Amino acid sequence: MRVHSMHSEGPTSPARYPVSAFIEPATVVSHDDDTREHEQELVTTLQDAMADACAQKGLFQLCGVAPTEESAWSITTEITIDDYASENVAMMVIGGMLLPPMIGMAWSFPVFMGACEGHITWTLRAEGGRELARRRSAFDATHCTHALASAGFSRFLDDAYSALELEVGSPERYLATRALAAKSAVAVAGPRSVIAVFDLQDASGQLQPAVLDQLTEYLGAQLVELGGLRVVPRSEVKARLSAEKAESYGACYDEACQIQLGKALAAEKSLATKLLRIGSTCALSATLYDLKSETTELASTVEGECTEDALMKTVKALAGKFSKGK
């Protein structure tokens, strides 16, 4: 995995967010055979170049081309080539070409030797896929590489920084908030608390039972991996429900049922989760109950897109809210 980091800042550089940004592979939309033939090479090299540029800009602690546990935000890229006129030279590599519009860095970039027209769109996304910032830049140039390189990625990073300041505050405030949240999570969860995780309740009515079952399993696994917690096996929860002659495992959604069942399982806490949908946005909320005092100790919500793939990311982000700040 290639990771790009910055260890120094210029006197006028903005403060750096203490997290990793994941530079996702670009999506290329083109109906031209010449561009499709070398699409993967274009995507890979552009992804590396963007990670270099991101590191040079110094907005994040790390800029990587693969996701990590510390990847709080991701950058997606879509390139649309509307028209390409070849000059009968299919593809070549220009090394060491200095392109000032891309933050003055040296590129070694595959170049289409012909004129092209189109546009490139960058999007900054939060955990769960929610859009925070977007910039769309058109290009019309003699050589496609020059067009892509100078299409405005530096200005997009400026937009992204402004969006993050509105979303989470300054880097200093974001760091302080994370530290406070980590301390709160430790205080609430305690040293390796035993948690009974109940079925995800789909208030949106959009998911099949098999998908809900898998998301619940994934949530439990992430609580163990990210939070260092002990989770009651679902088989034990189902067996206890059967012994209590409950209608079904998924029927135990109300607080009273979950508290009673959690105590019977010798758990210290129980976690109830619910999926809501308003328009095209899905929100996954979770409530952690202390079974001894029968009170709510922590509640958190993560928003994202409503596709099954996006919901996986949302579940992981939600589990991270209950972690111990590892």
pLDDT of residue 14: 63
Whether residues 160 and 213 fall in one domain: no
Q: Is residue 176 part of a domain?
A: no
Q: Which positions ≥6 away from 11 have C-beta within 8 Å?
A: none
Question: Is the pLDDT at 59 greater than 80, yes or no?
Answer: yes
Whether residues 16 and 145 fall in one domain: yes
Q: Is residue 326 part of a domain?
A: no
pLDDT of residue 93: 33
Contact between 289 and 269 under an 8 Å Cβ cutoff? The reply is: yes
- Band of pLDDT at residue 10, cut at 50, 70 and 90: very low
pLDDT of residue 189: 47
Taking the C-alpha atoms of residue 78 and residue 153, their distance in angstroms, rounded to an integer, is 12
pLDDT of residue 260: 84
Whether residues 125 and 186 fall in one domain: no
Q: Is residue 174 part of a domain?
A: no
Taking the C-alpha atoms of residue 170 and residue 176, their distance in angstroms, rounded to an integer, is 10
- Band of pLDDT at residue 265, cut at 50, 70 and 90: confident
Per the structure, the count of domains in the chain is 2
pLDDT of residue 183: 62
Whether residues 107 and 23 fall in one domain: yes
Q: Is 94 exposed, middle or buried (CB count within 10 Å of its CB: 0-12, 13-18, 19+)?
A: middle
Residue 84 pairs in a beta bridge with 116
pLDDT top residue among 291 and 4:
291
pLDDT of residue 286: 92
- Band of pLDDT at residue 109, cut at 50, 70 and 90: very low
Question: Is the pLDDT at 110 greater than 70, yes or no?
Answer: no
Contact between 194 and 267 under an 8 Å Cβ cutoff? The reply is: yes
Q: Average the pLDDT over 120-134 and give the result.
A: 86
pLDDT of residue 178: 73
Whether residues 78 and 197 fall in one domain: no
Q: Which of 138, 169, 200 is the last residue of a domain?
A: 169
- Band of pLDDT at residue 13, cut at 50, 70 and 90: low
Q: Which range marks the domain in which residue 310 is found?
A: 181-321
Give the pLDDT confidence of 179-237 residue by residue, as tens digits: 776 665 555 544 567 888 888 899 988 899 899 989 999 998 888 887 677 888 888 87
Question: Is the pLDDT at 111 greater than 50, yes or no?
Answer: no
**CA triplet 22, 124, 106: central angle to 5 degrees?**
60
Give the CATH number of the domain where residue 106 resides.
3.40.50
pLDDT of residue 215: 92
Taking the C-alpha atoms of residue 168 and residue 302, their distance in angstroms, rounded to an integer, is 14
Q: Average the pLDDT over 281-290 and give the result.
A: 92
pLDDT of residue 92: 37
pLDDT top residue among 43 and 86:
43
Q: Average the pLDDT over 133-143 and give the result.
A: 75
Lowest mean pLDDT among 78-87, 118-127, 171-180, 231-240: 78-87
Lowest mean pLDDT among 91-95, 251-255, 260-264: 91-95
| pLDDT > 70: percent of the chain | 71
Q: Average the pLDDT over 25-36 and give the result.
A: 75
Q: Is residue 317 part of a domain?
A: yes
Q: Which of 135, 169, 203 is the last residue of a domain?
A: 169
Instruction: Please give the structure tokens belonging to residue 199.
Output: 């079925």
Q: Is residue 175 part of a domain?
A: no
Whether residues 204 and 161 fall in one domain: no
Q: Average the pLDDT over 43-51 and give the result.
A: 81
Give the CATH number of the domain where residue 214 resides.
3.40.50.10610
Q: Which positions ≥6 away from 159 have C-beta within 8 Å?
A: 124, 133, 134, 135
Whether residues 259 and 286 fall in one domain: yes
> What backbone phi and psi angles, to 5 degrees, belong to 170?
-65, 160
Helix (H, G, I), strand (E, B) or coil at 70: coil
pLDDT of residue 117: 75
